[in-house]
Structure 1
């Protein structure tokens, strides 16, 4: 047994009266791949942030040694030298981790210039190469994009490229594939494995993978540690632990799988949402002659037609950047559409005015992909979830609003203690549940769900899917369910539309298409999902 590159001994992290991490001990050797799994709020991310000394307003005790040196007693100046160079981190929420005022190329290049002393031109060339290696198409164009111009999956890949820029000795990967579709997820896994096998560096990069994706753990990690409520309850070799888990909590995690739970749509069910020939375009710069650029149009969504009936779930799948989220914004009337029409209950969205438009907004709700950026950091959970009630249900007094907020929070697995807390006090998965509660509290007719379970661990994902299925049956809602997780779509959807490069390449009954896809692209997605 070689000496540990990272050695955590009896780590405790306390926020006021809350003990978030309770006596965790874990060793990672050079070149080793270790996964840390557990439900949302179990202390996984706090443990990782403690390694880099990025936990604020907390009491941290115990020992964290890296390459034989104690990190908890190092100066902040010394820690800045380690961060990004020897120890790098892929953060869970790329939109909040990336600076919105700088291009992604500048942000990747900054790390390279700071730690490797590269010139701006050298840093740009390396940034383009890193974007290409992480699966971003047209890296020469995307390097000049700002974070808001990229899809959620593309932003996650930028974060991965930034973390890998200086070939760190230890990579802390906090949900690195959460926003990625199955094909890119496989590419990222292979990329990380390839970097570890790279003999030119001879550094033996170790990886601490924090994830709720148990299939990813099985494919990537050599050892796995399981956390519950801040405590490390079980650890061991991946194969042994998956085959014979000892702790009841581990057994429960491994048994959590999406289960199909849909009722047939009634033949007389009316069409709630009807979109015809929807096209969304953006102006862009295209390469011209002699190094010049010319103006062009980028078609994010190209003549898409679809409909959703009462009580029906339409699944939309496709790789990151295929136009799924842009289509969702168009269906909500929040995206400038150059061509096409979207109707709600037979009336074009553009024709809703005044009070009618207010009623439309209460009936057409959305759960966004990134729960942190969609929740106001200055408001408590009670105000966030209850804001829609104050606007759309003015007849309710404060006590009645609070009762409805508590009830919907309980439905998504949170208790009343969440009312007075702020978004930053919750884990990523808990924030997603708050976002779902905010949408459900108004009891809408149509709910557009943009990757609503991507930030959730498997057990909570199962609970939320069961909750959404139950709410649909109870209120006869229509869902537009956008996801890169084909298992989730298979469990929830009646019909599915497969998108690629802004086009719907195949659509129809989900069970028929998943059993016998006619398009080669659909077959590739399904094959990647089976192997993930």
Structure 2
């Protein structure tokens, strides 16, 4: 029997006193698709980076063999020859992984020239072919674009093209679809399957998929390995792991899917937020004759009407660029509208002045997608959560503010020992709880939740969703919940608004819309969610 393509035996990775990976053993055959799952901090990405020997300040022991060759004892020049040609990696965030100073074509061509020794002209031609193969339209034009000039899906496809440039035998895909829309996610999954099926192009390429997306694992992988706290606790076929998990952690992980627990909205619940015929336009400039620019306008939101009642969750879904977040900023009064009106408790936002406007701000709060970016790294948790009290509740003295901060942190499951710590000392789920506490401390009536769980592990996502549901029941809050995860919207929302290109194509009760969608675009989203 031939040796497996990749064989990891008793791998241990230590950073100082911290054991990040503890005794992991894993085999991957040529052409196989294996998923490595677990929560943040479980050691998934560290394991993948160990294969490429890209970890800094780490002590590695054990064995990692590629086609029988030991990688841990290879010299750095020898590893450089393997990276890209035999082992390639797709990173989680292409905007960070791609060099902003070079075009996409230059970055793909560089890999080809480095490993294959072809001319710049031939490398560029192959780069265009790779972009076309990954489904990027007009690859002859896109090849000269920079990362910031491409959409999220296009950047991820460019990353895949770069990873496949030298036809690697092993592809490491680290959360390749986490931040993508459901339709783009389905396209990327199908693309990877198609590329792997093409034996001539892939050389029987094996894929190690690192993800917390269990739906993706079920659709894509053949075998699953589950990690917890650096230890491989269970492995097996997809059917066995999903059908009869043995380890308690695997059981808990699989049970962490969003569950619908919303209470019905009372018939006489008042309308908190009412937006009618809202439009938002952005000025644009396009190149004209003789170097002049033609001025125009891009309509990001086009005559959208929504209402939110007390105790109700309005879900807003759609692909990137559909206008979801722009609409949310308009509802908050943080984005100027070109048409229409927005009222809070029966009064136009523009009519609030002075102290009344301050009260309005305290009644309408927002929780953003990435809590690490939205929390100041230079402030303690007590100051972050209590900052709004200094502005909106000036009558409270220092002791009262402190007590209120402690109480709201306890409400979201954060101990008072967190008060003097900083955001980087907390996990992603804890940071999101802190962001929710910062919004709740002002006792708002409306919460705008902009993709609040998209970057979280499935188990942490489950905890945050349960927390939001409990808070809504306790305080009878209105939610505007923006997400591209239809499963989350199905669990949390009473009504849903489906947006495409700035317009509402369908709206209604979430269960009815998901069961019998009337618009083709809604059907496309739901189909993509199932496929992904």
Does the alignment reach a TM-score above 0.5?
yes
Q: State whether structure 2 residue 253 is matched by structure 1 residue 253.
A: yes
Which is higher, the Rg of structure 1 or of structure 2? 2
Q: CA deviation at 1:64?
A: 3.4
Give the Cα separation in 2 of the matches to 1:434 and 1:153.
30
Give the Cα separation in 2 of the matches to 1:450 and 1:147.
24
Partner of 1:455: 455
Partner of 1:499: 499
Residues 358 and 529 of structure 1: is their aligned pair in 2 closer, same or farther, counting only changes over 3 Å?
Answer: same
Q: CA deviation at 1:472?
A: 0.7
Q: CA deviation at 1:478?
A: 1.2
Q: Which piece of structure 1 moves more, 8-17 or 394-403?
A: 394-403
Partner of 1:178: 178
Contact 2:429 2:464 in 1 (8 A): no
Q: CA deviation at 1:21?
A: 2.5
Contact 1:93 1:370 in 2 (8 A): no
Q: Which piece of structure 1 moves more, 38-47 or 95-104?
A: 95-104
Partner of 1:271: 271
Q: Which piece of structure 1 moves more, 156-165 or 195-204?
A: 156-165
Partner of 1:227: 227
Give the Cα separation in 2 of the matches to 1:167 and 1:523.
36
Question: Matched residue of 2:199: which SS?
Answer: coil
Contact 1:153 1:321 in 2 (8 A): no
Give the Cα separation in 2 of the matches to 1:524 and 1:415.
44
Deviations 1:244-283 (A, max 9, x none): 2111221222223222111222333232222233333345
Partner of 2:328: 328
Give the Cα separation in 2 of the matches to 1:471 and 1:423.
23
Q: CA deviation at 1:228?
A: 1.6
Q: Which piece of structure 1 moves more, 239-248 or 384-393?
A: 384-393
> Gapped runs of 5+ residues in structure 1?
none
Contact 1:86 1:169 in 2 (8 A): yes
- Counterpart mapping for 1:401-412 below 5 A: 408=408, 412=412
Contact 2:8 2:27 in 1 (8 A): yes
Q: CA deviation at 1:529?
A: 2.8
Give the Cα separation in 1 of the matches to 2:81 and 2:424.
27
Partner of 2:20: 20
Give the Cα separation in 1 of the matches to 2:150 and 2:196.
28
Partner of 1:36: 36
Contact 1:40 1:430 in 2 (8 A): no
Deviations 1:501-528 (A, max 9, x none): 2211001111222222211221222233
Partner of 1:370: 370
Question: Matched residue of 1:4: which SS?
Answer: coil
Q: Which piece of structure 1 moves more, 125-134 or 164-173?
A: 125-134
Q: Which piece of structure 1 moves more, 431-440 or 480-489?
A: 431-440
Q: TM-score, normalised by structure 2?
A: 0.85
Q: Which piece of structure 1 moves more, 255-264 or 137-146?
A: 137-146
Q: Which piece of structure 1 moves more, 15-24 or 497-506?
A: 15-24
Give the Cα separation in 1 of the matches to 2:434 and 2:506.
33
Contact 1:281 1:337 in 2 (8 A): yes
Residues 497 and 151 of structure 1: is their aligned pair in 2 closer, same or farther, counting only changes over 3 Å?
Answer: farther
Partner of 1:217: 217
Question: Matched residue of 2:474: which SS?
Answer: helix
Give the Cα separation in 2 of the matches to 1:411 and 1:151.
38
Deviations 1:64-98 (A, max 9, x none): 34444444455555555554554333333445445
Give the Cα separation in 2 of the matches to 1:158 and 1:18.
35
Question: Matched residue of 2:171: which SS?
Answer: strand
Q: TM-score, normalised by structure 1?
A: 0.85
Residues 110 and 469 of structure 1: is their aligned pair in 2 closer, same or farther, counting only changes over 3 Å?
Answer: farther
Question: Matched residue of 2:374: which SS?
Answer: coil
Partner of 1:341: 341
